[in-house]
Structures are given as structure tokens and as C-alpha cells.
Amino acid sequence: MALFMKVTNNSPMIPFLRLIVLFVLCYKTKGLIKLPPNVTIPALIAFGDSIVDSGNNNHIKTLIKCNFPPYGKDFLENVPTGRFCNGKIPSDIIAEELGIKEYVPAYLDPYLKPNDLLTGVSFASGASGYDPLTSELMSVIPLSTQLDLFKEYINKLKGIVGEDNTNFIIEKSLYVVVGGSDDIANTYFDAQARLQYDIYAYTDLMSNSASNFLQEIYKLGGRRMFVFGAPPIGCLPSQRTVQGGILRTCAEKLNYVAKLFNLKLSNNIDSLNSNLPKSRVTYVDVYTPLLDIILNPQKYGYKIVDKGCCGTGLIEAAVLCNPFVNTCYNVSEYVFWDSYHPTEGVYRKLVEILTKTYLGGLL
């Protein structure tokens, strides 16, 4: 049975479907962020890596999966959905606080309903990156394919609500784009798969690829974009273990590359906004607030910053964080859930900081 029926401009279903669209866009969850009366953000659409992958990797052949316990320990009904976290991830929390919906589903989820599409989905794939080689090494969904899926999504929307309503949704939605961490940590440093580049050339490759990707979203109609910079990668527990020496200190070389990439990404975004009419592309500095949490955990109510809650917390992530390892007793004391990803609690603190700082630039 076809999930989506084709709707033509002359179809008698058009008026009825427009009513459905208006109902879905107006009947939202109660968000903490109050938008101005003349501003509408009908949907949230996510691209990138594991920070906003809500389960797409469940449906591809890769080892980079987390659709098993203890992942999802604090998600709805304790279900491991494929989110690389104990609970909600940033795309879910932003959508929740904007009053769009409670969580953003994975586009490849076979149980998606038409109403899910109207309010946004995630195309992200854990372990993807701006460098095409990054997704190839991990057998995950590259950004180019995420764009192809987005085009397919647009056509499905047209089949449900018609072209005019689709154009409205695409233009007014918020696009959350997250990438760079896996390029730097996995491809460049751990796998050493780009030895032909020095760090300056490699961050050029990353930032130029990011710029091209954002332009593709713009060409397809997207205007409002939150583009996350790289975090302090060298302070992630896994990178402390692999790159931080016997004392597992923050690997400052990785942090330096992250900051270098962030500077270039920010500059490229400034250029895009100058050259793309009506664009609202916003560089989001994740590095500074997350580093502050790591360096001053007591200020935020945390105790443990150098290891994750899952297993030993030193290296466990994805398949290494599984039902056969122990998890910490009190996740609220930890900054990181596994050795690579923050807890839901940290994501909530970051989203609160980021929306206060950057949301005005999108409106």
C-alpha cells in the first residue's frame, strides 16, 4: 500500500489537505521559546553526523549503530532508537523548545507517517562528515546522499500537500547541520587517511565542502540554517584515551584543528550570507560552551568529565557500548554518555545557551 498519494493542483483533495497542513503547523507542542507573532518555523530538518542522527544508521549496513541498550536509557519508554545518547539529541531538543514537536524522527524510519514529514525529519548519519572519505571509511550515509534523500523528501511533501505548501515548509523551516568532528578525529588523526594534507589544507577541504553543502540546501529552498562548529574534540573521552597520552589530558592538537576549522567555517558562512539573498545561515559556536562545561563542571552540576557513563567510559561508543557492559549509576553526574557523545542533560544546557545566543539571527 502506498503511503503517499499523488495530489495534483486540480485535485478536490487540495482544500482539505491545506486545512490539514494548517492544523499540523498550528497545533504544536508547548515550546519554551516564544517566537514573534509574525514568525513561523513549521519544521526542523537535520543533516550531518551522530549528533543529530535519530536512527538512520539502523537501516544501513554499518557497524556505527546504537539501536540497542544501554542507548536510549532515558528516552521515551527507554527505547534505543538509534540516537547516540542516553536520551534526546540536539535536533529533538531544539524542535521541542521551538514547539514544533517532541522529537525529530529519522527519515529512513519505515514507520514514518505523512504528518511526520510535515514537521521535519533527520537525514543525518552517525560517523559522516564534510570530507567524503569520512563516510566511506565507516560505510555510512555521505552528505551527497543525504541531499538526495532531501530531494526525495521534497517530492513526497509535494505529493501530500501540493507545491505551494511544500515551498512554504521548505523556506520557513530550520535546518540544523552538524559535521566536522569525525573528519578530524577519525579520518585525519585516528585513521591517518589524509596524510597528503597538512592541517591547513585539510581544514580548507572541510570548510569548502561545508560551504558547498550549505549552498545546495539553499538551492533547494532552505533559508534558515544553524550550522554547528566542531566541539573541543581533543577533550572527548575517546580522544583523551587515543591521543592524550598516559595522563589522558585533552589532546590540544585536535582542539587546535577544530578551532582552525571553525574559523574558516564561520568566515565562509559570512560570505554566503553576503552573496545569497534572504539567507539566514548562522554559525553556531559549540566549542566555547562545551569547553566551559568540561573545564568548570561544578558550575553546571557535573562531576566527571574525562570518561563516559557507558562501560569504562574510556573508549566505548557505538557497538562497544552495548548490553554487556555496565553503565554508571548516576548519569546526571557525567558530561559524556559514551566516550564520544554528551548526555541529554549536557545537550539541553548547550541548546539553552545556543538558542539564546543565535536564534534571533534566524528570524
Q: Which residue numbers are catalytic?
A: 50, 338, 341
C-alpha count within 13 angstroms, C-beta hemisphere, residue 8: 3
Whether 174 and 224 have beta carbons less than 8 Å apart is answered as yes
Separation CA 47–CA 122 (nearest Å): 6
Q: Identify whether 80 is preceded by a cis peptide bond (ω within 30 of 0).
A: no
Q: Is 214 left (phi over 0), alpha (psi -120 to 50) or beta?
A: alpha
Element containing residue 280 per DSSP (H, E): strand 280-284
Rounded Cα distance, 342 and 95, in Å: 18
Collapsed DSSP state (helix, strand, coil) of residue 308: strand
Measured CA to CA, the distance from residue 303 to residue 206 in angstroms comes to 34
| Cβ neighbours, 10 Å, residue 22 | 11
Residues 79, 252: Cα–Cα separation, whole Å: 36
How far is the C-alpha of 40 from the C-alpha of 191, rounded, in Å?
44
Instruction: Quote the DSSP letter at residue 56.
Output: G
Which of 200-230 are b and which e, b meaning 16 or more Cβ less than 10 Å from the residue's Cβ? Answer: eebbebbbebbbebbbbbbeebbbbbbbbbb
Long-range contacts, 330-334 (Cβ 8 Å, 24+): 331/73, 331/74, 331/86, 332/301, 333/302, 333/303, 333/304, 334/302, 334/303, 334/304, 334/307, 334/308, 334/309
- Look up residue 341 and give its three cell numbers: 557523545
